[in-house]
Amino acid sequence: MGNTQLRIFWYRLGRMLLRLFDASVALAAVGMAAFTVGLLFARLHWMVDNAASFELVYFPASVVVLLLVIVRRKRALIAMAGVLTVYHAFLVLPYYVSMPQARAGDSTFRIMSANLQWDSGNPRRVYEVIEQENPDILALQEVTPSRLQELERLRKTYPYWAHCVGENMLGIALLSRTSLTNGDRQWVTHGVYPTLIADLELHKRKVSILLTHTVPPFSAEWAALRDKQLADIGARIFALNGTSIIVGDLNATMWTPSFGDLLRKAALSNARNGFGVLPTYSSGMKRLVPIDHVLFRGELTVTACRVGPEMGSDHRALIVDLALTSP
The one-digit pLDDT tens for each residue of the chain (327 residues) are: 567 777 777 777 777 877 888 788 888 899 999 999 999 999 999 999 999 999 999 999 999 999 988 988 878 889 999 999 999 999 999 999 876 666 655 688 999 999 998 777 677 888 999 999 999 999 999 999 999 999 999 999 999 999 999 878 889 999 999 999 988 888 887 778 899 999 999 888 899 999 999 999 999 999 999 999 999 999 999 999 899 999 999 999 999 999 999 999 999 999 999 999 999 997 665 778 999 999 999 999 999 999 999 988 999 999 999 999 876
Residue limits of CATH 3.60.10.10 in the chain: 101-324
Number of helices followed by number of strands (H, E) in the chain: 8, 12
pLDDT of residue 286: 72
State the alpha helices, DSSP H only, in the chain: 3-39, 46-51, 55-71, 75-92, 123-133, 145-150, 220-239, 257-265
pLDDT of residue 54: 95
Which letter, b or e, does each residue of 158-197 get, where b requires 16 or more Cβ atoms within 10 Å of its Cβ? bebbbbbbeeebbbbbbbbbeebeebeeeeebeeebbbbb
Domain 101-324, CATH = 3.60.10.10
User: Degrees (nearest 5) of the Cα angle 277, 259, 261?
Assistant: 130
Q: Is 251 left (phi over 0), alpha (psi -120 to 50) or beta?
A: left
Order the strands of the 300-307 sheet from edge to edge.
Answer: 160-164, 171-176, 137-143, 107-115, 318-324, 300-307
For 85, what's the count of Cα atoms within 13 Å in the CB-facing half-sphere? 18
